[in-house]
């Protein structure tokens, strides 16, 4: 394959969510695997709703996920290109002015439905004479512009859905330009795909009908259409779609909740594919698992709680080298032995801070039976302590007191950590060390 050029094209009107991430990752990882280019295109032709704050947050999210774009373009910088393309379509008679109001269109639609006809635009505006138009404009009407569809079956070979066809005679001519001269999404997207030499349009299946229309626009502008891949959309366990507007599972929120980018990426890419959803440790491995022909056509249902499981599994396997800097940033870098001791107990990396505090102190010990604590202290092994110390010590405590099992271990854990759960004490004890251990066993916070 020649090097693909792909784009992720969000409108910066809200924070992106895990469903948008699926689109972004499929594009970015496909480009990465094939040595291609990943473009971030801000679809910000709706100037009123688009905000710089959201554009910034989308860039931050992509960087956090490990897929910074190679190129960034903004549609709001490219109106000249769209005007030129609209001019060409007008000159070719493919873009024509219409003057109906919403109410008029609604009335016609109802009448068609009542007569059992499909509610598609009747192209009345094509019959207007120059005089009619002049009169309407004198009345203060401004035209919106529709693209005249050819009544053909548009076909394409979709990388996900296989051979697709849409009968364009069953569609209304789409409006490409509004009364106020602003563009709807349809035309600018095609103009940019041509101008940026996009080879693959990878996007959600909600765009399948747009694709048929856009293929006709590519042709009308004298360009070859790119290859299309329409993947299934994510839906929640209760069957709901995700909404940027409602702030569903925003990437920002998941980041703030302490989830690993790889947990989010693994779920977003693998759910609804032939691959089992599992934690994949890096993006190159995840990229190798992408196979468009194995993405299911049914909506991809995912369970939010799955993210925590994936996260925990990633942390449990995370080598110290990968965790070190982040532990340091949390003030919880207690060395490799510490990380190896606690990682199996963590769901989120930041929870390591709690165990660093347990090791370092101060810990308020919980002691119910002072005599038992004293007896245990009396047989504490000599320093230096290592991985064998806990076993040697508890054997000695058992021999001295006759106590065993949980009745032996739990009071020691409570005294040493102040908690009734946590990582193996065999690993924690040498990290706590003899001085703090003695103090805690005597009931002092240390
Ligand atoms: N702005 C469009 C969207 O977010 C882009 C669709 C496309 O990829 O062409 O749905």
Q: What is the pLDDT of residue 241?
A: 86
Q: What is the pLDDT of residue 247?
A: 64
Q: Is 9 in the pocket of ligand 1 (CB under 6 A)?
A: yes
Q: What is the pLDDT of residue 242?
A: 83
Q: What is the pLDDT of residue 237?
A: 85
Q: Is 324 in the pocket of ligand 1 (CB under 6 A)?
A: no
Buried b (16+ CB within 10 A) or exposed e, 62-77: beebbbebeeebebee
Buried b (16+ CB within 10 A) or exposed e, 85-110: bbeebeeeebbbbbbbeeeeeeeebe
Task: Return the residue whose CA atom lies nearest to atom 10 of ligand 1.
Answer: 10
**Distance (Å, rounded) from C-alpha 49 to C-alpha 116?**
38
Mutate to test the pocket of ligand 1, among 5, 11, 73, 76 (most ligand atoms within 8 A of CB): 11
Model confidence, pTM: 0.92
* Residue 207 CA, ligand 1 centroid: distance in Å: 8
**Distance (Å, rounded) from C-alpha 233 to C-alpha 235?**
6
Q: What is the pLDDT of residue 314?
A: 98
Q: What is the pLDDT of residue 245?
A: 63
Q: Is 50 in the pocket of ligand 1 (CB under 6 A)?
A: no
| C-alpha distances out from residue 438 to 216, 240, 381, 382, 427, Å | 80, 56, 11, 12, 17
Using the atom order of ligand 1, give the atom closest to the CA of residue 193. 9
Q: Is 11 in the pocket of ligand 1 (CB under 6 A)?
A: yes
* Residue 240 CA, ligand 1 centroid: distance in Å: 20
Residues of the chain with pLDDT under 70: 244-247
Q: What is the pLDDT of residue 244?
A: 67
Question: What is the set of domains in the chain, with CATH numbers?
Answer: 361-441 (1.10.10.350)
Question: What share of the chain in percent tops pLDDT 90?
Answer: 95
Using the atom order of ligand 1, give the atom closest to the CA of residue 203. 8
């Amino acid at each position: 394959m020649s090097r693909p050029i792909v784009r992720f094209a969000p409108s910066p009107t809200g924070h992106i969510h895990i469903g948008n991430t699926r689109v972004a990752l499929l594009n970015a990882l496909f480009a990465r695997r094939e040595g291609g280019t990943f473009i971030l295109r801000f679809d910000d032709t709706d100037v009123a709703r688009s905000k710089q704050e959201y554009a910034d947050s989308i860039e931050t999210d992509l960087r956090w996920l490990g897929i910074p774009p190679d190129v960034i373009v903004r549609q709001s910088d490219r109106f000249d290109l769209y005007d030129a393309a609209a001019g060409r379509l007008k000159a070719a008679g493919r873009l024509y002015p219409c003057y109906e109001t919403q109410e008029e269109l609604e009335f016609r639609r109802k009448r068609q439905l009542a007569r059992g006809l499909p509610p598609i635009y009747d192209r009345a505006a094509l019959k207007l004479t120059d005089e009619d138009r002049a009169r309407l404009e004198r009345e203060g009407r401004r035209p919106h512009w529709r693209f005249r569809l050819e009544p053909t079956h548009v076909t394409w070979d979709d990388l996900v859905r296989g051979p697709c066809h849409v009968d364009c005679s069953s569609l209304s001519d789409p409006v490409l330009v509004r009364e106020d001269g602003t563009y709807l999404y349809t035309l600018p997207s095609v103009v940019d795909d041509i101008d940026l030499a996009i080879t693959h349009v990878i996007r959600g299946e909600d765009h399948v009908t747009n694709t048929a229309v856009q293929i006709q626009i590519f042709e009308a502008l004298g360009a070859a259409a790119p290859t299309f891949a329409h993947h299934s959309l994510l839906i929640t366990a209760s069957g709901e779609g995700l909404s940027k507007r409602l702030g569903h599972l925003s990437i920002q929120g998941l980041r703030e909740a302490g989830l690993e980018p790889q947990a989010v990426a693994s779920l977003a890419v693998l759910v609804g594919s032939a691959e089992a959803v599992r934690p994949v440790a890096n993006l190159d491995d995840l990229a190798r698992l992408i196979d468009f022909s194995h993405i299911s056509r049914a909506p991809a249902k995912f369970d939010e709680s799955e993210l925590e499981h994936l996260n925990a599994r990633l942390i449990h396997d995370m080598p110290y080298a990968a965790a070190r800097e982040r532990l340091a940033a949390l003030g919880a870098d207690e060395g490799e032995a510490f990380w190896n001791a606690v990682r199996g107990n963590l769901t989120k990396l930041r929870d390591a801070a709690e165990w660093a505090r347990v090791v370092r102190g101060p810990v308020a010990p919980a002691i119910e039976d002072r005599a038992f604590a004293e007896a245990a202290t009396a047989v504490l092994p000599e320093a230096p302590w290592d991985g064998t110390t806990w076993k040697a010590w508890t054997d000695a405590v058992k021999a001295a007191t006759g106590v065993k099992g949980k009745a032996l271990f739990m009071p020691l854990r409570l005294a040493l950590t102040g908690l009734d759960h946590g990582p193996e004490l065999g690993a924690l004890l040498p990290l706590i060390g003899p001085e703090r251990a003695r103090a805690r066993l005597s009931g002092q916070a240390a």
